[in-house]
Structure 1
Amino acid sequence: MGQVPASPNAHAYYWRQRDRGKCHNAALRQLANRLVGSTLHGCLKTGTRYDEATAWSHHAELATG
């Protein structure tokens, strides 16, 4: 099995998907969709650099709230 990215937030997102019953490949697809669909698109749209805290802030709030 491949490695989940070194990002602790991406790693946590992957495992949340697994906990919801997604298989490894489906969880990786969800993670890729999150990174490319939302994060990369937002960076390109606003012309900003990737920021780990900003990219995962919504998911961090869900985990703690």
Structure 2
Amino acid sequence: MLAEIGDDRARFADARGLKAFAGSAPITRASGKKTVVTHRHIKNRRLAAVGSIWALASLRGSPGARRHFDARRAAGDWNRQAQRHLFNKFLGQLHHCLQTGQRYNEHQAFPPPLTLAA
């Protein structure tokens, strides 16, 4: 993944640029009364393929990613949509880690759900 992104930390000004490069950010086209949301056809295909595998593999190893994926599925997303959303979240976290020099922290990336007081 890092070989596809490159070693220039200033290459992507924000996480949205990285997500668009990877092809995980949706395209919204609005024309008058009609709005259509589609997936990107022009993207880095190797990075997009890795994203699908990354999201799928994280479901076993990361309880936070599993919670996030299950919440998206419960909200009505299809399996592929929930995977793409999880990949988007991981790309945002990767961009943050590369920009700040911090290590990935599961508890910051996916905070545990709040418990309701009685």
User: If the length of structure 2 is used for normalisation, what is the TM-score?
Assistant: 0.46
1:30 paired to 2:95: no
Are 1:64 and 2:114 matched, yes or no?
yes
Query: Counterparts in 2 of 1:1-65, with a 5 A limit?
Result: 3-5=56-58, 6-37=61-92, 39-57=93-111, 60=112, 63-64=113-114
TM-score by length of 1: 0.79
Distance (whole Å) between structure 1 residues aligned to residue 109 and residue 83 of structure 2: 17
Superposition deviation, residue 55 in structure 1:
1.5
Q: CA deviation at 1:54?
A: 1.7
Larger radius of gyration: 2
Q: Tell me if the contact between 1:13 and 1:31 (Cα under 8 Å) persists in the aligned partners.
A: yes
Alpha-carbon contact 1:4-1:11 (below 8 Å) kept? no
- Relative distance call for 1:24 and 1:4 in structure 2 (3 A) is farther
Higher normalized strand content (fraction of residues): 2
How much is the aligned-residue C-alpha RMSD, in angstroms?
1.7
Q: Mark the runs of 5 or more structure 2 residues left unpaired by the alignment.
A: 1-52
Moved over 4 A (4+): none
Cα deviation, 1:16-54, whole Å, max 9, x if unaligned, reads 0000000000000000001112x1111011101111112
Instruction: Give, in whole Å, the separation in 2 of the partners of 1:48 and 1:4.
Output: 23
Following superposition, the deviation at residue 4 of structure 1 comes to 4.8
Count how many residue pairs are aligned between Structure 1 and Structure 2.
59
